């Protein structure tokens, strides 16, 4: 895809738990745009981000932030007020998608299969299990598997969970408890209005946590996934439907858990990422590359989508 030469501000970094990943994503975008002749202003987001964006006055902002407040609607609302054109999803979509419980409320009534579960005050975990073991505990509004714990019958967390056991209950006031789904990790990217392919993720040990995602050599990416055609079709269909139902823009990535003993009935959407990673190990660039779109093409396609949908005052 060819787009005119632009002044692009790349927003990265910030202060979330995913700062380091965002810096890697942002630098990749900066390098790709610079190589293609665009004027690029890199902005490591601080509390003065609005002033920096106003001073830069870019044609478009490439939002390479991950986690809060760059992915939860906060920065999107600020840029809406400033009248800036920016990539990825807008305010309302970001608010819903970052919150796993709100995502379920938006998608499950439309037939999207997602695990059950409920929000649990962390203090209640010390009195007893909220669900039969094994179950999963995760923060409601964090990404990249930050703060996820799998509580099993033989885990070293204690029965019930001990106050001294290291886990997300020590960091977050409340957590989402979901039944543990045995099986395989799958993910599907959407760009624009097209679901790409399915990748299977095989961590060498444990589960697909933050370290497994961003440490080279800890996880095998099987792309395309070696799964039945009906599961591939279901992943792509669900990812695209979720992208549309949430009003996502640009690109998103839907993560699944599949119990391969249950066929398509064992496939569950876990979450939708509205600003997936753009690092060398990230899944969206990998899937795009398998379909003949190099990293620079991908970056320009995301920008082209933002420029095409800029409507001033609407949720992008």
Interval 275-301 mean pLDDT: 94
Detail the DSSP E strand segments found in 64-116: none
The pLDDT tens digits of the residues spanning 238-275 come to 999 999 999 999 999 999 999 999 999 999 999 999 99
Confirm whether 26 is a catalytic residue: no
pLDDT at 155 > cutoff 90: no
Confirm whether 265 is a catalytic residue: no
Q: How far apart are CA 315 and CA 303, in angstroms?
A: 16
pLDDT at 93 > cutoff 60: yes
Q: What is the mean pLDDT of the chain?
A: 92
Burial of 315 (0-12, 13-18, 19+ CB in 10 A): middle
Q: Which domains does the chain have, with CATH numbers?
A: 7-88 (3.40.50.20), 97-114+182-295 (3.30.470.20), 118-179 (3.30.1490)
Confirm whether 135 is a catalytic residue: no
Q: How far apart are CA 38 and CA 110, in angstroms?
A: 41
pLDDT at 95 > cutoff 80: yes
pLDDT confidence bin for 280, thresholds 50/70/90: confident
Residue 17: the pLDDT is 86
Least trusted range by pLDDT, from 9-13, 110-114, 209-213? 209-213
The residue from 277, 286, 295, 316 that is catalytic is 277
Confirm whether 253 is a catalytic residue: yes
Residue 309: the pLDDT is 61
The pLDDT tens digits of the residues spanning 4-24 come to 999 999 999 999 989 999 999
The residue from 273, 300, 305, 316 that is catalytic is 273
For the record, the structure tokens of 141 come out as 């509004």
Confirm whether 255 is a catalytic residue: yes
Residue 214: the pLDDT is 45
The residue from 71, 99, 185, 271 that is catalytic is 271
For the record, the structure tokens of 21 come out as 């990943």
Q: How far apart are CA 49 and CA 114, in angstroms?
A: 36
The residue from 253, 286, 300, 305 that is catalytic is 253
Residues making up the chain, counted from first to last: 316
The residue from 16, 141, 144, 145 that is catalytic is 144
* Crossing angle between the packed helical segments 19-35 and 295-309, to the nearest 10 degrees: 90
Q: How many helices (H) and strands (E) does the chain have?
A: 9, 12
Detail the DSSP E strand segments found in the chain: 7-12, 39-44, 60-63, 118-121, 135-138, 149-151, 174-179, 184-191, 194-203, 219-222, 251-258, 267-273
Interval 154-182 mean pLDDT: 94
Confirm whether 63 is a catalytic residue: no
What SS3 state is found at 91? helix
The residue from 71, 72, 255, 300 that is catalytic is 255
């Amino acid at each position: 895809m060819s787009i005119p030469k632009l002044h692009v501000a790349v927003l990265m970094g910030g202060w979330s738990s995913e700062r380091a990943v965002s810096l890697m994503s942002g630098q990749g975008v900066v390098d790709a745009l610079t190589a293609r002749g665009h004027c690029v202003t890199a902005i490591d987001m601080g509390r003065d981000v609005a002033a920096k964006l106003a001073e830069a006055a870019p044609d478009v902002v490439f939002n390479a932030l991950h986690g809060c407040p760059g992915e939860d609607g906060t920065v999107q609302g600020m840029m809406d007020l400033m009248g800036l054109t920016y990539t990825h999803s807008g305010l309302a979509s970001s608010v819903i998608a970052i919150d796993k419980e709100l995502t379920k409320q938006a998608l499950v009534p439309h037939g999207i299969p997602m695990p059950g579960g409920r929000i649990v005050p962390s203090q209640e975990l010390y009195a007893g299990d909220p669900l039969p073991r094994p179950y999963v505990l995760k923060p409601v509004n964090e990404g990249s598997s930050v703060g996820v714990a799998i509580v099993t019958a033989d885990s070293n967390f204690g029965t019930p969970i001990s106050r001294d056991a290291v886990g997300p209950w020590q960091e977050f006031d409340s957590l989402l408890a979901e039944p543990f789904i045995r099986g395989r990790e799958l993910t599907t990217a959407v760009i624009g209005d097209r679901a790409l392919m399915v990748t299977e993720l095989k961590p060498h040990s444990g589960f697909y946590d933050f370290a497994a995602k961003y440490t080279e050599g800890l996880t095998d990416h099987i792309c395309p996934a070696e799964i039945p055609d009906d599961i591939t079709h279901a992943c792509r269909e669900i990812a695209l439907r979720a992208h549309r139902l949430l009003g996502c823009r640009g690109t998103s990535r839907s993560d699944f858990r599949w119990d391969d003993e249950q066929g398509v009935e064992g496939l569950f959407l876990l979450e939708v990422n509205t600003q997936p990673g753009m690092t060398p190990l990230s899944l969206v660039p990998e899937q795009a590359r398998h379909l003949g779109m190099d990293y620079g093409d991908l970056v320009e396609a995301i920008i082209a989508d933002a420029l095409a949908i800029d409507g001033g005052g609407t949720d992008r």
